[in-house]
Amino acid sequence: MTECADIDKLLSELRHGHSCLLLNENSAGGMTGFVVVAAEHCEAEHIAFMARQARGLVCLAMTPQRCEELELPLMVEGDDSLSPFTLSIEAATGIDTGISAADRARTVRVAVDASSQASDLVQPGHIFPIAAAAGGVLTRTAPAEAAMDLATLAGLLPSAVFTEVLDN
């Protein structure tokens, strides 16, 4: 098995704007990987790497409170077995088509900026927020909560961008 970084090194990497690979045991007993970066440090290069190399859906884990502040409705209400995705988002200004890595990184930064309001975002978009459980992995053991917990433990905003690493 590959050596894993200790938690202090991992948190330091997140604080310095680097991404990390989060491994999660899946229901079949295998491992699933997720590329994670703290949302406040998300840049075009992170999004490009996620899209080109990991190839999963680029998601933004945020607290339910932040999702409420931004007036982001859940896609599906009342089913706790599903990931609590909200409607997808885009920055209202400062972007082109929204699909580029730079546009998606800007959308992330707008969403997590404390001074941003619901009017600073439009729907639908190319970033997929998830209202991660307020208690993190102690409440719900899922990638969104793990990513958000890592950012919080690093002393950063409780939000993270992540995507699943897909195989062929």
| Torsion sign over Cα 145, 166, 76, 81 | negative
In the predicted model, is pLDDT for residue 1 greater than 50?
A: no
Query: What is the predicted pLDDT for the residue at 77?
Result: 82
Which residues does 151 contact at the CB level (< 8 Å), separation at least 6? 14, 38, 39, 40, 157, 158, 159, 160
In tens, the pLDDT along 11-36 reads: 999 999 999 999 988 878 888 999 99
Number of domains in the chain: 1
Query: What is the predicted pLDDT for the residue at 2?
Result: 55
In the predicted model, is pLDDT for residue 45 greater than 80?
A: yes
In the predicted model, is pLDDT for residue 131 greater than 60?
A: yes
CATH number at residue 47: 3.90.870.10
- 2 belongs to a structural domain: no
Query: What is the predicted pLDDT for the residue at 59?
Result: 98
- 22 belongs to a structural domain: yes
- 1 belongs to a structural domain: no
Domain extent at residue 11: 7-164
Residue 22, classed as helix, strand or coil, is strand
- 72 belongs to a structural domain: yes
Share of the chain above pLDDT 70, in %: 96
What does the pLDDT average to over 133-145?
Answer: 94
Query: What is the predicted pLDDT for the residue at 25?
Result: 84
Query: What is the predicted pLDDT for the residue at 3?
Result: 63
Whole-model pTM: value is 0.93
In the predicted model, is pLDDT for residue 38 greater than 80?
A: yes
Length of the chain: 168
Share of the chain above pLDDT 90, in %: 85
What does the pLDDT average to over 97-126?
Answer: 98
